[in-house]
Amino acid sequence: ADQYDGFILDQFGVMHNGVMALPGAQECYAQLAAAGKKIVILSNTSRRACNAQGKLLGMGFDPVALSGFVSSGEETYLYLQNHLQGTKCLMFTWERELSEKDASFLKGLDIGQTDVDSADFILCHGTEVISTGSDAPIATNFVHSGDLSMYQPLLEAAKRRDLEMLVANADLRATLPSGSLGHMPGCIGREYQRIGGRVRWFGKPHTAHFEACLRMMGDVDKSRVVHVGDSLEHDIAGANNVGVDSVFVAAGIHSASLGLQVSPDGVIDSQSPALSQDQVNSFVAQESAGKTANLAPTWVSAQFVW
């Protein structure tokens, strides 16, 4: 920690699992804050920053210690606010949008919801329901199944109309509170891109979001900043793209591929083999095959611990 003055932290798989803090993460966060480090959270959550930040205190992380919070959802919201007022979208979203009080992502915007034939664009915000603004949203269960069949006709219709898709969470997979891997909005965005659709991406690994974090740190030199994350493709590649060091947290989304047995609450099984640098190097080389992005981390840690 002495090598760095600024820490850009991923949330899911590093600090918490969406419901509770991961082992050692509360202490590590508190120690960094006590040492006067500047901390900015960079998350691919499609929630707005104010909503996502509000959840931290309940999991034992004091948001007062933060210099900033950048979420892909917030960046998406600002884009909608500045460029797409007075339009309508077909929305792929989460069930919470319909069930939680004040959860609506479009609240405060002059943007309506409609079907693919009348939409001005697609907002890919979540992977549980398809919403046209009617009283009968369509549940897809894509987050668990990964089955695109319910989306495919809509994507093809949108492609014929040359609709742009805004992806509010670029993640492909995320570890769910149950410990299983969930399919995220990035999967739908990739499929739309594959069939020739226009996609506007928000979140990691895109450089603009890392640069927003650096601005929030003020005069901290980039060479004294490190990003801590568990996804090679989003966290580590993004850090390398912008030119900051990185810590790869191995017990996150890639834990099974690295032979780590991790419980849903983040405890590494004592029978798991010790993590070796050679093992990590081999995995990074495997994941890098055929890709232009640099997935090699500066440092490796099993978990976000002090």
The pLDDT tens digits for 220-243 are 999 999 999 999 999 999 999 999
Mean predicted lDDT score pLDDT of the chain: 93
Residue whose entry in the numeric block shows the structure tokens 């990035």: 186
User: What confidence category does residue 174 fall into, taking pLDDT thresholds of 50, 70 and 90?
Assistant: confident
Is the pLDDT higher at 290 or at 82?
A: 82
The CA distance from 18 to 255, in Å, is 17
CA-based diameter of the chain, in Å? 57
* pLDDT band with cut points at 50, 70 and 90 for residue 101: low
Least Cα distance to 8 among 283, 197, 224 occurs for: 224
Q: Which tens digit of pLDDT belongs to each residue from 184-221?
A: 999 999 999 999 999 999 999 999 999 999 999 999 99
Question: In angstroms, rounded to a whole number, what is the distance separating the alpha carbons of residues 245 and 240?
Answer: 7
Tokens of 286: 């495997």
β-strand partners of 71:
43
Q: What is the dihedral of CA 225, 41, 171, 238, to 10 degrees?
A: -10
Q: How far apart are CA 75 and CA 110, in angstroms?
A: 17
Least confident stretch, 4-8, 14-18, 37-41, 184-188: 14-18
Would you state the pLDDT for residue 102?
66
**Long-range CB contacts for residues 1-4, cutoff 8 Å, separation at least 24:** 1/31, 1/32, 1/35, 1/37, 3/224, 3/226, 4/37, 4/224, 4/225, 4/226, 4/245
Q: Is the pLDDT of residue 135 over 80?
A: no
pTM given for the model: 0.86
In the chain, pLDDT over 90 holds for what percent of residues?
82
What proportions of the chain, in percent to the nearest 5, are helix, strand and coil? 35, 20, 45
- What pairing do the DSSP bridges indicate for beta strands 138-139 and 164-167? unpaired
Cβ–Cβ under 8 Å, residues 226 and 5: no
Q: Are the CB atoms for 245 and 4 separated by under 8 Å?
A: yes
pLDDT on residue 273: 84
pLDDT at 99 over 90: no
Distances (CA, A) of 275 to 216, 259, 272, 282: 34, 8, 9, 12
Q: How far apart are the C-alpha atoms of 5 and 7, rounded to whole Å?
A: 7
Q: Where are the beta strands (DSSP E) in 176-271?
A: 181-183, 198-201, 225-229, 245-249
pLDDT given at position 294? 94
